[in-house]
Amino acid sequence: MNDRRFKNVFKIFFAWQEGKEEKWLREMSKEGWHLDNTGFLNYIFRKGEPKDVIYRLDFKIIRSGNVDDYVTLYEDAGWEYISRMGFWYYFRTEAREGLSPELYSDNTSKIKMYNSLRWLLVILCGPIVYNLPNLYGRIIRALTGGVKDDLLAQGLIINFAFPLAIFLTLVLSLIIYGVIRISLIIKKIRLDIRE
């Protein structure tokens, strides 16, 4: 990746920030860096002519056998498929004057996309919500009674079990925050009286 024609950027966007991500990719293209591929939180850009390119991210849970059909439809409609990151698919099209191309042309379908994204986040919460109280309970019980005289066990709990519990708590908070943000986006779209 030392090649000057490529640039590798590590950047974190959260699930509810896809609008921000699209804007950032557009700015990069205006500077001549066009998205070439994506990895996990990783963007590879290729150097080219500066151009005004519009990027759109689509969240879709589909079977791998249907991806071809899905991508073909988008490409027929004038969208170039770049790559995917998890359930997010990256598309782009050249900006045309006075046109704001969207993948979703009505509010009903836009809401559906955000709903499926929200569902995925809620499902991700499940195992954490299920296990976290148990984990905290065990840590407290062990430290207050069970392993009072066992230094090794105490060390294990303080150095491993406790940080894990804190980490999972943070992840859970982040997911819940995401669900709230996405719910607000959905609410905003619903206020629009058009279908």
* Tokens encoding 125: 């919460």
Which residues inside 91-120 make contact with another protein, applying CB under 8 A?
A: 101-106, 108-109, 112-113
Q: Do 67 and 81 contact (CB within 8 A), yes or no?
A: no
DSSP helix/strand/coil, 89: strand
* Tokens encoding 102: 């969207």
Question: Distance between CA 27 and CA 80 in Å, rounded?
Answer: 18
Closest to another protein by CB, 42 vs 115, is 115
Q: Do 162 and 153 contact (CB within 8 A), yes or no?
A: no
**Beta-carbon-side half-sphere exposure of residue 106 (alpha carbons within 13 Å):** 5
We find the least distance from the C-beta atom of residue 150 to another protein, in angstroms, to be 57
Site membership for another protein, residue 61 (CB under 8 A): no
Closest to another protein by CB, 21 vs 157, is 21
- Which parts of the chain fold into alpha helices (H)? 18-30, 67-76, 107-141, 151-156, 162-191
Q: Which of 18, 21, 22, 58 binds another protein (CB under 8 A)?
A: 58
Q: Which of 8, 72, 159, 173 binds another protein (CB under 8 A)?
A: 72
Angle between helices 162-191 and 107-141 (to 10 degrees): 160
Q: Which of 6, 13, 24, 70 binds another protein (CB under 8 A)?
A: 70
Which residues inside 123-162 make contact with another protein, applying CB under 8 A?
A: none
Using the contact rule CB under 8 A, the part of the chain among 25-33, 64-72, 133-141, 163-171 near another protein is 64-72
Closest to another protein by CB, 18 vs 175, is 18
Which residues inside 16-45 make contact with another protein, applying CB under 8 A?
A: none
Closest to another protein by CB, 65 vs 126, is 65
Closest to another protein by CB, 56 vs 175, is 56
User: What's at 169, amino acid-wise?
Assistant: T
- State how beta strands 42-47 and 80-85 pair: unpaired
Residue ranges binding another protein (CB under 8 A) = 58, 68-70, 72-74, 76-77, 79, 101-106, 108-109, 112-113, 195
